[in-house]
Copies of this chain bind each other. A is one copy, B any other.
Amino acid sequence: MAMTGVLRPGHAVVRVLDLDESVKFYTNVMGLKETGRDKGGRVYFKCQDERDHNSFIIRKADRAGLDCFGFKVLNKATLATLEGRLREYGVATERVPAGEMLETGERVRFQLPTGHTIERFADKTDVGNGLGYTNPEAMMPEFKGINPVRMDHCLIYGGDIDGNRKLFEEVLDFTLVERIKLEDGTTDLATWLTCSAKAHDIAMVRHAEDGKLHHVSFLLDTWEQVLRAADIMSINRVSIDMGPTRHGVTRGTTIYFFDPSGNRMETFCGGYDFYPDMHPTTWTWDEVGAAVFYHDRKLNPAFLTVVT
């Protein structure tokens, strides 16, 4: 098949300050489905149209942020091949045994030049999306909260995003889709990369401190669902950082908001399909505002400063 190698973002593991409050938030407000808890205290969630057992995991910690971001690959052979290429490239890898995370196969873990932990895995139990593979209905009529389609991508902050990009491109076969240049016209402030036909599977912004999370993003189907998400946030007194609005980058519509621990999350909709015969889009520094918030055409201060 044409889709090979790294398929898609598979799980985000996020630190929260209060587990009960966070479970309530991700269950009732976000509308994720809790699928399990492990002995280590991690709580597992999946989104409505995901078939894998989990895609979003939280654990209690003293400070918020991202433990790791995982990508699903085509199969075990791909896992091994990519591990070999990482090592050849000079990146240390670690194997985490199957079952260490619930319903998840062996993972290959490594560090990005920006200090973030990335995982690769080939197997996660297919628990279904509730519709089945035979004569499925078109949707699940009962749900609550924002009810995203899937966990979609993340945006990370750190220093050596050039090193990140090089690694994602050369070792993991990602493609650069969009970039924002700094005043010098040369240095990247930010880059968006894809491993599929999505406009982005991961993105990164140059930042003084390594290992930081800007947001984990959840996909919504329509702009009307984005409005509904904003309404649900307001009803639940969720702190909205920005939106509903559109990004210039990817053309997607968006709301940035904060979970109870201060982790920024996003509900995202749209974004064009990217094929490898397209060129990357470049945003110049004078248009950084439009790149990030297309309607206001200016950054809000939090965009470059508030991370976990």
A-side interface residues toward B, CB under 8 Å?
1-8, 49, 51, 72, 74, 126, 133-139, 141-142, 144-145, 173-175, 194-198, 221-224, 227-228, 230-235, 237, 240, 243-246, 248, 251, 253, 255, 270, 272, 275-284, 287, 290-291, 294-297
Contacts and interface: CB of A to CB of B under 8 A. Distances in A.
Residue among A1, A138, A144 with most chain B CB within 10 A: A138
A276 B230 contact: no
A1 B291 contact: no
6 nearest interchain CB pairs? A135-B287, A2-B5, A230-B295, A2-B195, A1-B175, A1-B173
A248 B136 contact: yes
B224 A246 contact: no
A294 to B, nearest CB: 5
Contacts of A134: 281-284
Nearest to A221: B270
Contact of A222 (B6, B174, B223, B275): B223
- How many copies of this chain sit in the oligomeric assembly? 4
Contact of A195 (B1, B234, B283): B1
A138 B8 contact: no
A137 B224 contact: no
9 contacts: A2-B7, A3-B197, A8-B275, A74-B276, A133-B279, A139-B251, A141-B144, A227-B246, A233-B295
A227 B252 CA distance: 11
A126 B109 CA distance: 39
Nearest to A229: B295
A32 B12 CA distance: 39
A71 B231 CA distance: 33
Contact of A138 (B7, B138, B251): B251
